[in-house]
Amino acid sequence: MFQSQKEHAEKRNQKKVVVGYDLGKLFAQISYCDLEGGEPETVSAVTGTEQYNIPVALCKRKGVGQWYYGKEAVKFARGEEGILVEDLLTLAERGEDVLIDGETFDPAALLTLFVKRSLSLLNMHASLNQIEAFMFTVEELTPRIVNVLGKVAAGLNLKAPHICFQSHMESFYAYTLHQDRELWKNDVVIFEYHDYLKSLCLECNVRTVPKVVFIEQKDYPEMGRRVFQEDEEARTRQMDELDQLFEGIAQEALKDRIVSTVFLLGDGFKEDWTRESLRFLCRGRRVFRGNNLYSKGACYGMAERINPCDGWKDYVYLGDDKLKANIGMRVLRCGEDSYYAVLDAGVNWYEAAADFDVILEEGNKVDFVITPLTGGNVTGRSITLEGLPERPRRTTRLNIHIEMTAVDQAVITIEDMGFGELFKSSGKAWTQTILLQ
C-alpha cells in the first residue's frame, strides 16, 4: 500500500500542468489543467469553498518588512496595523513609484510579489516545477500592460518554457470553443457586472476559411453597481428597478440576434434580483452564472498554443489586438510559383515577427502580399532596394526581418547578404514601414 501511495505521488509530481491566471483590477483567479487535456479546475482562495476571487491587494506591516496578500491583506489592514495597497495592476500600468510606510517601491515589483504569493494557493494541486505553460489574461492588452506583464513574468522566475498573455475577449473565445457545440451553434453573449454592466457578443462567420470569430463589446454605464438599502421595502424596490433596467438592456442587446447561450459574470449578479430579466434570457437560450470563465479560458487558450486540436485550427479569432491579415510573398519553389506565408492573421500583433532569407530573382524590388480576413481585397506592398549592387539573376541573398509595431503596421528590414564567395555583401540594409489597411 505504501509503495502505491509513493508511486501515485511520484506520478502526480511528474504531471505537467497549464495555469490560467486572470489578473483583474480588483480580483485575481487561478485555474489549472493537465497539459494533456481535461477540464480546468479553479483554485479556491478559501480551502473547501468555491470562493475563487483573490483580492489584488498587499498589506505591509507598519515598521516591519512583512507583507500580506489577498484576503489576509484586507483583513490585516482593518486592524490598522498595516498599510493596504490596492489596485496593483493600475499602479504598475502607471509606472510611478509607490510610497509605503516612508519607503518607495516599484509598482511592477509589488504586483510581482502579489502574483508570486498568490501562486502558493496552487501548492495543494501542483508544484511550481510542474507548470509547463502559464497564461495571464487581463481585461485589455494595451502595449503598456504587455510591458508590465513581461516584467511580472520575468520576476516570477518560473521554469515554465511557455509564458503568454491574452485578453478577456480571447479567453472568452477559447472557453467557448471548448464547450459542447450546441452551446455555440449561434451567437454567445456575456453580461458582466462589476462596477457597471458590459456585454460581449461572440459571433462566427462560417463562410470564410478559416472561420472568423469576432467579439463585440458594449458598455452600459447607466447600470452602475447598486448599494442596496437595509430597509426591506426599499431594497425590494431597488431590486425591481434594477431587474427592469437589465431586462430592457438585454432585450436591446439580443434584438435581431440568434443567441444560443448567455453567461452572467461578476459580483453584481450575486444578489437575487434577476427575476424577470432571467425569465426573458432563458427563453430558448441556455443561461449560466459564474465568475471563473476567463481563468478557465486562459487555460484552454494556452493548451491550444502548445497542442492545437484539429477543430481549433478551423477557427481564427480577430480581436482588437490581433493581426487581421495574412502577410506573405509570391516565391519560386522547385521551378513553380507558390505562396510563402510570412505572418498569419489571428496572432497577437506584439508577438508577430519573422526572420528568413530569400534569393532575389532579379531587379531590386521585394514584393509582399496582404490578404485581409475581414473581407477586403488582396493588395501588394513593394520595397525598392535603392543602391543594391547589380548582379546576375538569382545571385543576391537577402535577409528579411519583419515585426509588427502596431496592430495594422509592420516594420520590414532587408539586408543584402551577398552570395557566398561569388559576391560579398554590400553591407546595405533597407528599413520600411508598411500599413496593412
316 close to 210: Cβ distance less than 8 angstroms: yes
Alpha carbons 23 and 57: distance in angstroms, whole number? 12
Residue with cell 478577456: 168
How far is CA 136 from each of CA 69, 164, 178, rounded to the nearest angstrom? 19, 6, 19
Which of 300, 289, 263 is CA-nearest to residue 22? Answer: 300
Maximum alpha-carbon separation in the chain: 91
How far is the C-alpha of 359 from the C-alpha of 417, rounded, in Å? 10
Q: Of 325, 355, 302, which Cα lies nearest the Cα of 131?
A: 302
Tally the residues of the chain.
437
Which residues lie closer than 8 Å to 125 by C-beta, 6 or more apart?
Answer: 17, 32, 41, 43
Q: Is 291:190 a contact under the CB 8 Å cutoff? A: no
Instruction: Give the pLDDT confidence score for residue 13 in this predicted structure.
Output: 57
Domains along the sequence of the chain with CATH: 15-168 (3.30.420.40), 172-297 (3.30.420.40), 325-435 (2.60.34)
Strand segments (E) across 8-96: 17-23, 27-34, 41-42, 54-55, 57-61, 67-69, 82-86
Element (H, E) at 249: helix 232-254
Q: What is the pLDDT along the chain (437 residues), one digit of tens a residue?
A: 444 444 444 455 568 999 999 999 999 999 999 988 789 999 998 877 788 999 999 999 998 889 999 999 999 988 878 999 999 999 999 999 999 999 999 999 999 999 999 999 999 899 989 999 999 999 998 889 999 999 999 999 888 889 999 999 999 999 999 999 999 999 999 999 999 999 999 999 988 888 999 999 999 999 999 989 989 999 999 999 999 999 999 999 999 999 999 999 999 999 889 999 999 999 999 999 999 999 999 999 999 999 888 888 899 999 888 999 999 999 988 878 999 999 999 998 888 999 999 999 999 999 999 999 887 899 999 999 999 999 999 999 999 999 999 899 999 999 999 998 899 999 999 999 999 97
Instruction: Give the three-state DSSP class for 66.
Output: coil
